[in-house]
Amino acid sequence: MPARQQAKLRSCAGPLPAAAKGILYAGLAVALSAQNPPIEQGLASWYGPPHDGRTAASGEVFDSHALTAAHRSLPFGTSVRVRRLDSEQSVVVRINDRGPWVPSRIIDLSQEAADRLGLKGPGVARVSLEVVEAPATASPAVEIVYAVQVGTFRNPDNATRTRDLMEHRYGPARVVVWRGAPQFRCVLVGETASADEAGRLAAAIRTAEKSPSGAYVVRLDRTALSFAD
């Protein structure tokens, strides 16, 4: 294809909508150019065989040999290109789980995806994320809700104490358990249909608590979590 035509096609794709730091948007189902601007940059990690056979947050059975990944807010079914910043190696994965729950990380890859990205050895690497294809928008009957996750705990008592503190400072808070990660108790603050509003709350909590990465936006998939309080 002539260079002029290629440039024209790239310009038609257009960037994804942007919003507050830490918030990701996915629109109507469209195939986007591999050169689409990154929507997020940060650390990628991976998880593997110990999780095989467990139910992911989407309801699928986790398979470490499939090209899938966990992300906190992208809709299930979103195809994402994960590109290493230090080598330009890349792999396309499909989001079918929620996580990672380590604040400094932005995506958890399956073992197969990590292997193709050269990530298995070091365990983590800096990457950029580019949406390749977003799923069709949800049915109008399906409510999309966001909250701010402020902590992940194995000890239920620690989760309860954190919930009580957050509720006192920032309003309604709750402890939830995500499907696929029953060993963790996650503390969520607020609940809103606006990703922008959730982003502002997350930023306010990070500033007030002096924790640059300690509060981040998550998408609440009602069928993917249960309430522990």
The answer on 104 and 41 residing in a single domain is: yes
Range of the domain at 52: 17-133
The answer on 220 and 149 residing in a single domain is: yes
Structural domain tally of the chain?
2
Residue 214, domain CATH = 3.30.70.1070
Asked if the structure places residue 9 within a domain, the reply is no
The answer on 154 and 122 residing in a single domain is: no
Final residue of a structural domain among 112, 133, 154: 133
Residue 64 has a pLDDT of 95
Residue 33 has a pLDDT of 37
Q: What is the DSSP letter of 129?
A: E
Asked if the structure places residue 181 within a domain, the reply is yes
Final residue of a structural domain among 105, 133, 161: 133
Residue 226 has a pLDDT of 61
The answer on 109 and 188 residing in a single domain is: no
The length of the chain, given as a count of residues: 229
Asked if the structure places residue 1 within a domain, the reply is no
Residue 24 has a pLDDT of 33
Rounded to 5°, the CA angle 110-28-131 comes to 35
Residue 223 has a pLDDT of 60
Q: What is the DSSP letter of 176?
A: E
The reported pTM is 0.69
List Cβ<8 Å contacts ≥24 apart for 153-159: 153/184, 153/185, 153/186, 153/187, 154/183, 154/184, 154/185, 155/185, 156/185, 156/228, 158/185, 159/185, 159/186, 159/187, 159/228
Residue 113, domain CATH = 2.40.40.10
Low-confidence ranges of the chain (pLDDT < 50): 1-34
> Is residue 205 exposed (0-12), middle (13-18) or buried (19+ Cβ within 10 Å)?
buried
Residue 7 has a pLDDT of 37
Q: Which two tokens stand for residue 210?
A: 């002096």
Q: What is the pLDDT of residues 149-174, one digit of tens each?
A: 999 898 999 999 999 999 999 999 99
